């Protein structure tokens, strides 16, 4: 296991046991078997552990969109289908649950998570614009915002129900709520 992964595992364990504010970088490094200097080579602070520069969710969404985009594609269907193919949550369910619990217990982490989601949405809008999905920037922004709202609701439902996959959660939202919006 690489030092970055060791640090992430150690931090999650300590944050869960002691709380985010009560855990020191020294304790994280010690449990991971590395020096504090190694910690700072990987992360700028404790919160950075949750907000890596590599965004697997964004990578999965953009990869799907790039592979499946066709000029006649419905932007909404393309984005919704890309959500259904997200694997990162199901592949790392335990880690995702721990991460979510820690973030929700600290207002600064919640704020940073919201900023991360906003940045991700903007990058996705940029990608869709580059692909010339639509000449209408307002439409791209609107549809992407709606799909991100669906993702948020599906994610929260997925967190509550360990017996469903993220894809199933998105599908339930689609079938039970989207099809009945005009009623």
Give a three-class secondary structure readout of the chain.
CCHHHHHHHHHHHHHHHHCCCCCCHHHHHHHHCCCHHHHHHHCCCCHHHCCCCCCHHHHHHHHHHHHHCCCCCCHHHHHHHHHHCCCHHHHCHHHHHHHHHHHHCCHHHHHHHHHHHHHHHHHHHHHHHHCCCCCCHHHHHHHHHHHHHHHHHHHHHHHHCCCCCHHHHHHHHHHHCHHHCCC
pLDDT-based confidence at residue 24 (cuts at 50, 70, 90) = very high
Residue-wise pLDDT for 70-124, tens only, equals 887 789 999 999 999 999 999 989 889 999 999 999 999 999 999 999 999 999 9
Residue 136 pLDDT: 84
Instruction: Give pTM, 2 decimals.
Output: 0.86
CATH superfamily placement of domain 56-180: Tetracycline Repressor, domain 2 (1.10.357.10)
So where are the chain's domains? Answer: 3-49, 56-180
How large a percentage of the chain has pLDDT more than 70?
97
Confidence of residue 51 (pLDDT cuts 50, 70, 90): confident
CATH superfamily of 3-49: Homeodomain-like (1.10.10.60)
């Amino acid at each position: 296991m690489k030092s970055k992964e060791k640090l992430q595992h150690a931090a999650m364990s300590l944050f869960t046991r002691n709380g985010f504010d009560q855990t020191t970088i020294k304790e994280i490094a010690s449990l991971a078997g590395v020096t504090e200097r190694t910690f700072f080579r990987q992360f700028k602070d404790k919160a950075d552990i949750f907000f890596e520069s590599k965004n697997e969710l964004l990578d999965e969404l953009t990869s799907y969109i790039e592979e499946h985009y066709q000029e006649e594609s419905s932007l909404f269907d393309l984005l919704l289908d890309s959500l259904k193919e997200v694997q990162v949550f199901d592949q790392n369910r335990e880690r995702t649950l721990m991460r979510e619990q820690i973030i929700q217990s600290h207002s600064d982490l919640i704020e940073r998570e919201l900023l991360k989601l906003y940045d991700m949405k903007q990058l996705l809008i940029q990608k869709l614009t580059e692909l010339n999905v639509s000449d209408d920037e307002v439409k791209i922004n609107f549809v992407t915002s709606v799909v991100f709202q669906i993702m948020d609701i599906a994610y929260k439902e997925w967190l509550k129900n360990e017996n469903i996959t993220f894809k199933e959660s998105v599908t339930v939202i689609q079938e039970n709520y989207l099809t009945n919006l005009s009623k």
